[in-house]
């Protein structure tokens, strides 16, 4: 009840224009009072006018296109209500970058959001194609939108047959750079987490991505490659690319 009135207050003040796409169920799940306050802070800070439309509503996150000053922005909100503590913790524990951030059940989701943000930043540093991270605030990330005015970019699994090999090769190329240069292992790499736009592939969804120093990093790398090999096989694509070299095997 309280959630609704908080949202309504914002709408009434004309400062936060959700449109009709967001149903009551979703509202109730995601936009508790605190999340609303955080959204509000970010919107002020980045001069975001309104929520354009929902792009995706997954088990653990909601993704919206929001209208920024010049270009499209994506807002990803991690749901606090469906947090799988152990699952998430497996990808945080063991990553030296996050080892010191002690996590209670309540704050783990914030670490998760910061981890995705940090992974995106690190990738951008090495010119790896991912969305450009803009901000992280508690369980919310803002990043650049990939797509055109009408619709977000397609996932690799949905591109036309004639473009698939090109996008597949491009994704493998970005993945290889991610491993070898940024030394990050995605750990959920598949045709679902690659966006294809104007002949370029962008890797997304990096909350679970770990430093190569994570004790299971090598296993994650093998699993990622197996996902892509299986996808290539199902779609009659060629897989004759150099596989990424695991960083632990060259230095140290």
Ligand X SMILES: Nc1ncnc2c1ncn2[C@@H]1O[C@H](COP(=O)(O)OP(=O)(O)O)[C@@H](O)[C@H]1O
Site for Mg ion, rule CB under 5 A? 193, 205
Region 72-111 residues binding ligand X, contact defined as CB under 6 A: 74, 76
- Read off φ and ψ for residue 40, nearest 5 degrees: -60, -45
Q: How far is CA 71 from the centre of its chain?
A: 18
Helix (H, G, I), strand (E, B) or coil at 64: strand
Interface pattern 2-41 for ligand X (x via CB under 6 A): ----------------------------------------
Q: How far is CA 160 from the centre of its chain?
A: 23
145 binds, among ligand X, Mg ion, none (CB under 5 to 8 A by kind): ligand X
Stretches 19-27, 35-43, 152-160, 226-234: which one binds ligand X (CB under 6 A)? Answer: 152-160
- Segment near ligand X (CB under 6 A); pick from 138-146, 156-164, 171-179, 234-242: 138-146
CA distance 202 to 119: 14
| 172 burial type by CB count under 10 A (0-12 exposed, 13-18 middle, 19+ buried) | buried
Q: Which is closer to ligand X, CB of 213 or CB of 223?
A: 223
Rule CB under 6 A: is residue 51 a binding residue for ligand X?
no
Question: How many of the other CB atoms lie within 10 Å of CB of 193?
Answer: 21
Q: Binding of ligand X at residue 117 (CB under 6 A)?
A: no
Report which of 70, 22, 76 is spatially closest to residue 46, judged by C-alpha positions: 70
Applying CB under 6 A, which part among 45-53, 120-128, 140-148, 178-186 lies near ligand X? 140-148
Q: Which residues, in sequence order, are CB contacts of 120 under 8 Å at separation 6+?
A: 130, 131, 132, 133, 143, 206
Q: Which of 188, 224, 242, 251 is catalytic?
A: 188
- Considering only 18, 67, 147, 169, the residue that binds ligand X (CB under 6 A) is 147
Exactly one of 3, 27, 32, 60 binds ligand X (CB under 6 A); that residue is 60
Judged by CB under 6 A, the chain residues 155 through 184 that form the site for ligand X are: 155
Strands (E), the chain: 50-57, 61-67, 72-78, 133-137, 140-144, 154-155, 184-185, 194-197, 200-203, 210-211
Using CB distances below 5 to 8 A depending on partner kind, what does residue 218 bind out of ligand X, Mg ion, none?
Answer: none
Name the token pair of 39. Answer: 């959204």
To the query of whether residue 205 is one of the catalytic residues in this protein, the response is yes
- Strand partners for 77: 62, 140
Please pick, among 163, 205, 219, 251, the residue that the annotation labels catalytic. Answer: 205
Q: In this complex, which beta carbon is closest to ligand X, that of residue 7 or of residue 204?
A: 204
Q: What residues are annotated to the active site? A: 188, 205
The footprint of ligand X (CB under 6 A) covers: 55-56, 58, 60-61, 63, 74, 76, 131, 143, 145-147, 152-153, 155, 193, 195, 204-205
């Amino acid at each position: 009840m309280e959630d609704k009135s908080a949202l309504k207050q914002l709408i009434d003040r004309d400062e936060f224009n959700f449109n009709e796409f967001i149903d009551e169920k979703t509202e109730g799940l995601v936009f508790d009072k605190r999340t609303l306050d955080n959204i509000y802070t970010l919107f002020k800070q980045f001069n975001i006018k309104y929520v354009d439309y929902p792009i995706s509503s997954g088990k653990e996150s909601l993704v919206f296109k929001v209208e920024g000053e010049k270009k499209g922005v994506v807002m990803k909100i991690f749901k606090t209500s469906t947090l799988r503590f152990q699952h998430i913790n497996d990808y945080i524990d063991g990553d030296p970058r996050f080892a010191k951030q002690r996590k209670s059940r309540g704050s783990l989701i914030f670490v998760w959001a910061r981890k995705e943000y940090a992974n995106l930043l690190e990738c951008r540093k090495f010119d790896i194609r991912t969305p450009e991270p803009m901000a992280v605030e508690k369980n919310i990330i803002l990043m650049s939108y990939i797509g055109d005015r009408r619709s977000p970019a397609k996932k690799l699994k949905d591109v036309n047959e004639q473009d698939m090999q090109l996008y597949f090769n491009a994704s493998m190329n970005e993945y290889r750079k991610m491993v070898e240069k940024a030394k990050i292992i995605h750990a959920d790499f598949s045709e679902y987490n690659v966006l294809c736009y104007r002949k370029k592939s962008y890797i997304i969804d990096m909350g679970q991505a770990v430093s190569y120093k994570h004790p299971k990093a090598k296993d994650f790398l093998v699993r990622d490659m197996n996902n892509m090999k299986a996808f290539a096989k199902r779609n009659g694509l060629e897989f004759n690319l150099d596989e990424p070299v695991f960083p632990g095997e060259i230095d140290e």
